């Protein structure tokens, strides 16, 4: 049985001056929890510092306007 989830991208940005990693997530889908449990632990991603959404959907904007 295969595993299916929404596509996301995590960028691991390393700053030599700060000697620290920043983790940037691009797109969060409806299967985000499953992705974190499966892939973040496998690749030792300890946190997310920033989230970038690529698609703005009108119902999401409507939901957050209240």
pTM comes to 0.69
**9-50 pLDDT per residue, tens:** 899 999 999 999 999 988 887 788 888 888 888 999 999 998
Assigned domain for 51 exists: yes
Quick check: 29 and 52 in contact, CB under 8 A? no
Assigned domain for 3 exists: no
Q: What are phi and psi of 63, to 5 degrees?
A: -60, -45
Assigned domain for 22 exists: yes
Structural domain that includes position 58: 9-64
Assigned domain for 53 exists: yes
Q: Looking at the 3D structure of the chain, how many domains does it have? A: 1
Q: What are phi and psi of 50, to 5 degrees?
A: -155, 145
Radius of gyration of the chain (CA): 14
Q: How far is residue 21's CA from residue 14's CA, in Å, rounded to a whole number?
A: 4
Residue 15 belongs to what H/E stretch? strand 9-15
Assigned domain for 4 exists: no
């Amino acid at each position: 049985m295969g595993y299916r989830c929404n596509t996301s991208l995590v960028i691991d940005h390393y700053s030599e001056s700060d000697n620290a990693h920043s983790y940037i997530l691009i797109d969060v889908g409806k299967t985000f929890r499953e992705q974190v449990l499966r892939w973040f632990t496998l690749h030792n991603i300890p946190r997310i510092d920033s989230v970038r959404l690529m698609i703005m959907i009108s119902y999401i904007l409507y939901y957050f306007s209240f």
